[in-house]
Structure formats: C-alpha cells, structure tokens
Amino acid sequence: MTELTPPIAETRPHSFTVHGVTIKDPYAWLKDPNYPEVDDPQVLAYLEAENAYFEGVMAPHKPLTERLYEEMKARIKEDDSSVPQKDGDWLYWTAFETGGQYRKWWRRPVAGGPDELILDEPALAAGKEYFRLGAIVFSEDGTLMAYSTDADGSERYTIRFKSLADGAPLAEEIDGVSGKWGADSIEGAIGNIVFTTDGSGVLYGLTDEHWRTRTIKFHRLGTPVADDVVIYYEEDASFSVGVDMTSNRRWIVLATGGHDTTEVYLLPANNPLATPLLVSARKTGREYDVDEHDGTLFIHTNDVDPNFRLCTAPIATPGEWTELIAPSAHFYMTGIDCFQDFFIVDGREDGLDQIEIRRYETPLEAQRIAFPEASYDAGLGNNPEYDMAVLRVGYESMVTPGTEYDYDVASGTLTTLKVQEIPSGYDAEKYRTERLKITARDGTEVPVSIVYPKDFPRDGSAPLFLYAYGAYGYAIPPGFSTGRLSLLDRGFAYAIAHIRGGDDLGQQWYLDGKLEKRANTFNDFVDVAKGLVEGGWTSSGKIAIAGRSAGGELMGAVVNSDPELWGAVIADVPFVDVLNTMLDGDLPLTPGEWPEWGNPIEDKAAFELIRSYSPYDQVTAQDYPPMFISGGLNDPRVTYWEPAKWAAKLRATKTDDNVLLLKTNMGAGHGGKSGRFESLREAAEEHAFVLWQLGVES
C-alpha cells in the first residue's frame, strides 16, 4: 500500500564552513525560507506525506489507541472545579463542564451573592483548531479584567479587556504580546500583564519579530494602542524582560535577564511612568529576584553560592545587600515570598521540596511543613493576598493523587480541601514507589524516582518506561499522573531519572550538565538505564524512553550512543538540530540560548563540543530503535524543521527495519494540541506505540 511506504525526503546540496570545518546539510531545504510563514509547497508536501505515513502505520493500532484514550478519559473528572480562593472582595475559581475541553472562570462576592461567569474559554475556543489562555489578571478593585489568548500555538498572544461590573468587553486589543505558556489555574494564570494600582491601565511585554520580549509598554485604558508608552527596552538581544508585582502589590517588578544573569527594576504600582529604580546592575553569572516588605527588599540570589542565599536591602539604597540567610550545602533555596506577618522560603533538600515559614523578627528560625512520604512534589498554591494566616498548599507523589491543603501557620496543621478524583477508581495500594540512587560512570549518584505495581517482578522480565529532561535547571518532580496508570496496569515500571542539567539537587547539579559538561546529562541517563537493568528492574531492549524539547535532544543523543538499550523512543518537539540552531543568531531564541549551550559562532571549542553531540549531526549508519517523533508547525521554541530534518536523515542513514514515525501538528506549537481531551489523544497514541513495540498485551 502506498500509504505504508515511508516518504523519502530528497537531498539537495547545501554546505557551509565555520572555524575551518565544512558542514554538509542536504536537508536544509526543509527550513522554509519564508519562515515564520511556512508556505513552501515542497516542504508542506513532505510534512503531509510523513503525516499520512504516520496515520497509515498507526491505523491497525487505532483500537488500542482508542482503548487507552477511553481509559485516560475515564480517570478525569469531567465536571471538575478548583477550590475557591479569596482575593479582595471576591472568591475566584475555575470549572470544567462535562465534555468540555476548556475551563470556565468564575467568581462570587465574599459577602454573598450570585456566581459570576467572568471568562468562558469554551466560547472563546469555539471553531478554532487551537486555543490557549496565556494570562488573566484583575484590577485591584475587581472591576476590570485583562486576559491574553493564543489562537495558533505561535505564542503570540492578544490582550483583551472586560468590565466585570457589567460584563461588557472593552474596545481595545493588543496584539503580539508575550505570556506565560498556558494558564491552567488561577495561580498559574498571571504572566507578563499587570494592572496599575488604580486600574487605569496595564503594563505588558511585547514580543518582537524574533519572538523575543525586549519591550515593556504601558497601555492606558481608553487610549489608542498606538500611543502606548515604552517603559523599558532591553538592548541585549540575549535577554528577555518580564513584568510582575511584589506580593504587597506596591511595586511593579521589571525583571530582565538570560539563562544565567538577571537585573531587576522597580516601579511604584501607582505611578508606572516614574523612572524605574534599579535594584542592582547586571553581573554576568549572577541571578537574583526581589520581593518587598515594609520598605525592605528581600533578595534571593546566587551571587556567592550556587545554592542561593537571602539578602535584604533598604528600598532607598537597593544595591546595599546584607545577608539574612546564608547559603547551605544541603538546602537549595529556590525562592521567597513575602506576606504581611511572615515570609516563605522555598527550597529542596536532597532533591525533595521543602516549604519554610520564617518570621521577620526571628528570620533564622524555620517552621517547616511536614509531608508524609519519602518522595513527593509539594509547593505553595494560590495565595494572592498579602495578609494571609492560612496558606494554600499543593501536594502529590507518584502514588498519591494531587491534594490541596490549607496550612494554618499559627497551629501548623494541614486541612485537606480537595483530593484529585479519579472517577474510574484508583487504589494506591496496588502500587509502590521508591527513590533509588544509581551510580554514574564518573562516580556521581543520580537519584531515580520509580513507581511500579506491587507484584512487579525484579528478574529483568518486565518492561520499563524511563523519562527525563536534564536541561535549563528544570527539575522533573516525582508527581502523580493518571495517564501513567495505563502503563503500570499493563506491568510496566515507570521511572524518572533526575539527571544533571536539571536542578533537582541544587544549582550545581544544573551547572554540571550544561556547556562543557553537557555530556554528563546524556551519560547519566544511559547509566541510570544500565543500573536499572543491573538491578533487575528490566532488560536491555525492554526500556521505552521519552523526552520533549531539550529532553528530545537527550533522546537523540542516547539513541546515537546506545541504541541497543531502547525498545521504543518517544521524542516530542525534539531540539535535535542543535549546531545549526545555535549558529543562526536570527532564530527566535538563539541569542538567549548561548549561555546554556555555548556560542559556536564565536567560540571554536563550543562549535566542536556542540557538533560532537548534536543528534542530527551525529546520526550514523547503525541500527536504531523504533522511534516516534513529533513536531509543531507553529512552534517558535523548537522549529518544525528540527524533527523533520532529523527524521529524514534517520530514514536515509539507519540500517534497521524498525518503524520510524514523524507526526507534525500542522495547527499547533510547542505544547501539541490544545484542549484537555485532544492532549489525551496524543498521549494515547504514544502509549499505543510503546505497547506495540514492546509487545505488551493490550
């Protein structure tokens, strides 16, 4: 059948020379020269051919995909809602309706009164292939709302305004705005938009033609958008600027920076046109963030230690820092939040989340919230008010569904507000979880979180799913997943490798997996897999692996180095064309990425290092495991041609007959399809691929 014949991308001569080295790239033509418009007929024809091949190959497995989808859907409470939280005179919450792909946003008066529907995502998403909410914010008096939406996955948002007094939309709209990627809860919905104290206008981040946020503007409601005032412009193309507020809402925070350097300015929240107050001028390699309490700045910084410390400074002389809490070798301080009567220090100890309450009068005494399990994911939830005596806290583990608590600071007691409901049923006693340590080749102990059925055999006979990310200092938490249960109930163990490159064990853990130490990330992952085999958890060839974005780069590196270990590979929006991307300073994110990967344009050593592990460049004539690769046509983070070029080169080079699939979402971006059920379908497809390739009974 024609549809089962893999498409073969043509090769076209293309080469370039850098640092005296000539690189041949016969698939460079897959990058549309009109990008970000993708309209080259031959490029589109190739992507569509790959999609048709994907559909044809997966067609016999549609029944399995559908069973998995129905399983996953049955574990989701369709009419779910969040726990209301007070902010000023109102209680706010979100709710899904049965069958709904998107949330509705609600509020009601604290003093009593009817529920008010303030934002109807299903109505906004109607008729759209893609929809994502980027931000939703309210004026101090609760009469106005601003929200931003993305209609194609390109992460260029449009701000709209609404009067909450009468529900009427305001006339003005602001296009091309940056925003936090995907607002799926009240606490996660504030991103790059803030109201002034009097509600007269908003400050927002503007995305330029390269998807870089270098400009903060002020829009006064009722005036033309063309008249918006530039509050701050970032000259350094490798930096990006965002806008936020201090916890007490007295100061607007303008934070600019790259991967390893930050600089913060403050504006009075009631006077956005004032001259910004510089906290401390940027110093390469120094990161800091700021909150304020009663005229004192609280500054969380890594200036003297990668595990961070906490300093204070008078608002009048913000650059004069005095250490309040010294750095610790064992406690990685990840952030601070000021409240009226106390402040919170967030961190991780031995890789596990900790929440410390500290009093302003006795800052060196810590009151920790105690959690019951040996491995878990915990953090502050939605706590919008400055004067709070009871904190909202979230908790989960690999066997414990998401749980929301109120923590009474005075008594130290946790009160359960909500436990994630799984309508089809869930029995935690059917599963076990452990935190392992596996020694890597250089002697470093790498933590591994693992969950498995309680009767799981330790004789190497069972399949195992291994996940990791390992970049940008992002730690993968050992949290709960309903989708994961479809694997566990079919006899899998599921493991998360907390490899270097993330900051699971502190910022040094991150630093030990970037730039010239990047190979540690790949080696850690391979060594964890081999350690799991040695421990009887599985066998070579029975390991399914997955990673997305920079985690997809990890997938590319380890299939090149150790292909025989893996039985199936999922590489979602994989960052695999690393050398070409880092050599192209005109791409959206490249200048800001050089501190993470190195600048191969200026630095020959960086060029050679990136070339040595760039998955696309290191594809060789060898057997590769079965692979499922995905991309997004509108993805500004990992451009669509990276997975497309990689798949084309693999097809032409590999020596095996194992299946290789490339699926490109033609109407989506980095996060795949939007809507909670559409994303489940994509997860079901990937699980079906894994089960098929590992020969597990469906």
Q: What is the set of active-site residues? A: 549, 635, 670
* Gap between the Cα atoms of 119 and 101, Å rounded: 14
Cβ–Cβ < 8 Å for 143, 25: no
Tokens 């309040």, located at residue: 324
Kindly report the backbone phi and psi dihedral angles of residue 558, in degrees, each rounded to the nearest multiple of 5, phi listed first.
Answer: -80, -25
Cβ–Cβ < 8 Å for 360, 293: yes
CA 522 to chain centre: 20
Q: How many CB atoms lie within 10 A of CB 691?
A: 23
CA 603 to chain centre: 29
Q: Rounded to a whole number, what is the distance in angstroms from the first to the last CA of the chain?
A: 26
* Gap between the Cα atoms of 689 and 662, Å rounded: 12
Pairing of strands 566-572, 262-268: unpaired
Tokens 């696309």, located at residue: 616
The full DSSP string for 475-542 is -------STTHHHHTTT-EEEEE--BTB-TT-HHHHHTTSGGGTHHHHHHHHHHHHHHHHTTS--TT-
For residue 32, give Cα distances in angstroms to 38, 154, 208.
Answer: 6, 16, 20
* Gap between the Cα atoms of 159 and 513, Å rounded: 38
For residue 496, give Cα distances in angstroms to 110, 338, 698.
Answer: 42, 33, 24
Sign, Cα dihedral of 453, 455, 458, 459: negative
Cβ–Cβ < 8 Å for 444, 524: yes
Q: Where are the beta strands (DSSP E) in 284-427?
A: 288-293, 296-301, 309-314, 322-325, 331-338, 342-349, 352-359, 367-368, 377-380, 390-396, 403-408, 413-419
Please state whether the peptide bond connecting residue 563 to the residue before it is cis, i.e. omega within 30 degrees of 0.
Answer: no
Cβ–Cβ < 8 Å for 649, 617: no
* Gap between the Cα atoms of 663 and 301, Å rounded: 42
| Residue 331 β-bridge partners | 349
Question: Would residue 295 be called left, alpha or beta, if left means φ above 0 and alpha means ψ between -120 and 50 degrees?
Answer: left
* Gap between the Cα atoms of 655 and 558, Å rounded: 17
Q: What counts of helices (H) and strands (E) characterise the chain?
A: 12, 38
Quote the tokens at residue 13.
């001569």
Q: Which of 419, 452, 453, 460 is nearest to 435 (CA)?
A: 452
Cβ–Cβ < 8 Å for 461, 539: yes
* Gap between the Cα atoms of 317 and 4, Å rounded: 69
* Gap between the Cα atoms of 559 and 570, Å rounded: 11
